[in-house]
Amino acid sequence: MIRIAIQSKGRLNEDSCLLLKDAGISVDELKRKFLGKASDFPLEILYLRDDDIPEVVADGSADLGIVGYNEVAESGAEVTILRRLGFGTCRLSLAVPKTDKYDGLSYFNGKAIATSYPRVLRSFLDKNGIDASIREIRGSVEIAPAAGIADAIFDIVSSGGTLVSNGLKEVERVLESEAVLIAGPSLSEDKKPIVDNLLFRFDSVSDSRGKKYILMNLPTSSVEDAVKILPAMRSPTVMPLAMDGWCSLHSVVKESELWDKVEALKKIGAEGILVLNLDKVIA
C-alpha cells in the first residue's frame, strides 16, 4: 500500500482526482474526508491543504504528492519531482502599479513587496542583489499596493486578469509553475513496484491527453506524403481498401495540430476523414 497526498479542495483538486480516475483508480466519493482508499489499487489518498503537501511527503507521512511546483519551491522541502503533470500552470511574478515607470529590477531597491511566497522572493532578490523588504500576507496580496501596505507584489499569475483589475502590471516572471508529482527521499523496497505501476499509468494518461485518433481513405500514391504530415508513434498504419489504388490510413495527431493536418491531408486527396477520441496510449 502506498499513500498519495492531494489537495482537498481548490484549483488542483479536480485535475488531481481526474488523473487518478483516468489511471483506472476509483476512490469512494463518500469517504473523501481526510483519508480515502482506492478500491482497485493499493493506494490511500490523503486530502490536505496544498501548503502542507510538500512537508508531509518529505517526512514520509505520504509517499507521493500532487502539488503546485510553486508550493514545493516555497516549502524548501526535501522532495524529488517525479513528473510534471501539465495542469495548474501559472507563474510567480513581480507586479507594480501600472502607472509606475518600470525600468528594470533596480526599481525594487528600497521598496516593500507583499507576497505569500517570501522564500522564493527572498532568494530571487538576493540572487539579483536587490535590497527590498518583504511583507508576508496570506491572501489577497493583489490589493496590497492600493491599500498602502506595499509598493509592489510578488504573486501567482495565470491569465493576468487579477492584476489588471487591481491596477497592476506584471514586470518580472520569476518562476514558472505547474502541478508536479513529488516523492519523499526514501521509499521502501516493497513500495517501489507500486509506485512504478502508478507512474506507468500516469504516463499513459499524459501520453493520450491532447491527442486524437485519425483515420481516412487515401490514394495509395499519396501515402508517402501523408507519412510526412503524420509522424505517428512509430509510423501510421496503412491498410488496403477493396477499391484499387486506395488505402485506409490510421494515425494519432495532437489536437492542437489537428485542423492544420486535416487541411494538408485533404490537399493530397484524403477523403472520409474520421477523428476519434483516444482513450489510452500504452507505451
Q: How far is the CB of 92 from ligand ATP (least distance, A)?
A: 9
Whether 66 contacts 202, CB under 8 Å: no
DSSP letter at 141 equals: G
The entry of Mg ion, ligand ATP, none that residue 88 binds, CB within 5 to 8 Å by partner kind: ligand ATP
Torsion angle defined by CA atoms of residues 105, 86, 11 and 3, in that order, rounded to the nearest 10 degrees:
-120
Q: Taking CB within 5 to 8 Å according to partner kind, which of Mg ion, ligand ATP, none is near residue 36?
A: none
68 binds, among ligand ATP, Mg ion, none (CB under 5 to 8 A by kind): ligand ATP
**Residue 11 contact partner, candidates Mg ion, ligand ATP, none, CB within 5 to 8 A by sort of partner:** ligand ATP
Distance of closest approach, residue 122 Cβ to Mg ion, in angstroms: 19
Q: Which of 50, 151, 155, 172 binds Mg ion (CB under 5 A)?
A: 50
Residue 226 within binding range of ligand ATP, rule CB under 6 A: no
Q: Does 54 bind ligand ATP (CB under 6 A)?
A: no
Q: Which of residues 152-171 bind ligand ATP (CB under 6 A)?
A: 156, 158
Amino acid at 91: R
Report if residue 63 touches ligand ATP, rule: CB under 6 A.
no
12 binds ligand ATP (CB under 6 A): yes
Binding part of the chain for Mg ion, among 17-25, 50-58, 125-133, 194-202 by CB under 5 A, reads 50-58
Residue 224: what are its φ and ψ, rounded to 5°?
-60, -45
Burial category of 57 from C-beta neighbours within 10 Å (exposed 0-12, middle 13-18, buried 19 and up): buried
> Do residues 39 and 26 touch, judged by C-beta distance below 8 A?
yes
Q: What grid cell was written down for 174?
A: 520569476
Q: How far apart are CA 115 and CA 150, in angstroms?
A: 9
Which one of residues 17, 56, 90, 247 is an interface residue with ligand ATP (CB under 6 A)?
90
51 binds Mg ion (CB under 5 A): yes
Q: Of these partners, Mg ion, ligand ATP, none, which one is at the site of residue 7 (CB under 5 to 8 Å by kind)?
A: ligand ATP
Q: Which long-range contacts (CB under 8 A, 24 or more apart) does 256-264 make?
A: 256/210, 258/212, 258/214, 261/214, 261/229, 261/230, 262/214, 264/229
Work out the widest C-alpha separation in the chain, in whole angstroms.
Answer: 78
Give the pairing type, strands 43-48 and 35-37: antiparallel
What Å distances lie between residue 73 and 124, 186, 283, CA to CA? 12, 19, 31
92 versus 96: smaller Cβ distance to Mg ion: 92
Q: Which is nearer to ligand ATP, 160 or 219 (CB)?
A: 160
- Quote the least distance from Cβ 91 to ligand ATP, whole Å: 9
Binding site for ligand ATP (CB under 6 A): 7, 10-12, 49-51, 68, 70-71, 88, 90, 156, 158, 177
Binding site for Mg ion (CB under 5 A): 50-51
